[in-house]
């Protein structure tokens, strides 16, 4: 059993995800992640998921395996899978941010993308998108000085 801190960043396409399904996913993720010692963020919009999971390696791998078996996801593409020194999303069992048209302008605008689909396509090509950039981009998206919840909806259990 490994307690080494580990992260997986992946993208997937949602299959028939309703607003109610999304709420259920967030609630279940928040509860199970809190129990397993996992933190992270889920970005969702236009049927595309981008998720960062971080925590003890065994727990992260179990969670990722469960996600891969979830029939609500297709085209699951791991982008980054690596040990980490510290957590980026340590205060959230599962933060959530919507990939709306407005957030794409601020988050994806620097990359020249206008939709969640374009962002996911870019992220799936490792020649153009690497793990450190993902972490930096998420930090910038969330950074509001001392208020790290800017642009992020904290899901409470």
Q: 16 falls in which pLDDT band (50, 70, 90)?
A: confident
Q: What secondary structure letter does DSSP report for 156?
A: P
The residues, ordered by sequence, that sit 6+ positions from 43 with a Cβ below 8 Å of its Cβ are 49, 50, 51, 96, 97, 98, 99, 116
Cα 156 to the chain's mean position, in Å? 17
Q: pLDDT above 90 covers what percent of the chain?
A: 18
Could you tell me the domains of the chain? 5-152 (3.30.70.100)
Give the dihedral sign, CA 134/136/141/146.
positive
CA angle 131, 72, 115 (to 5 degrees): 50
pTM for the whole thing? 0.69
């Amino acid at each position: 059993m490994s307690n080494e801190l580990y992260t997986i960043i992946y993208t997937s396409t949602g299959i028939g995800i309703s607003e109610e399904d999304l709420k259920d996913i967030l609630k279940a993720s928040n509860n199970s992640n809190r129990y397993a010692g996992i933190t992270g963020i889920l970005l969702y919009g236009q049927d595309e998921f981008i998720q960062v999971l971080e925590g003890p390696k065994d727990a992260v791998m179990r969670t990722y395996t469960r996600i891969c078996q979830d029939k609500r996801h297709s085209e699951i593409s791991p982008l980054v899978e690596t040990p980490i020194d510290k957590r980026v999303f340590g205060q959230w069992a599962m933060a959530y941010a919507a990939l709306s048209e407005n957030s794409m302008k601020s988050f994806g605008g620097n990359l020249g993308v206008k939709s969640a689909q374009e962002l996911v396509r870019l992220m799936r090509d490792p020649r153009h998108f690497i793990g450190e950039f993902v972490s930096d981009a998420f930090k910038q998206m969330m950074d509001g000085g001392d208020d790290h919840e800017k642009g992020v909806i904290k899901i409470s259990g």
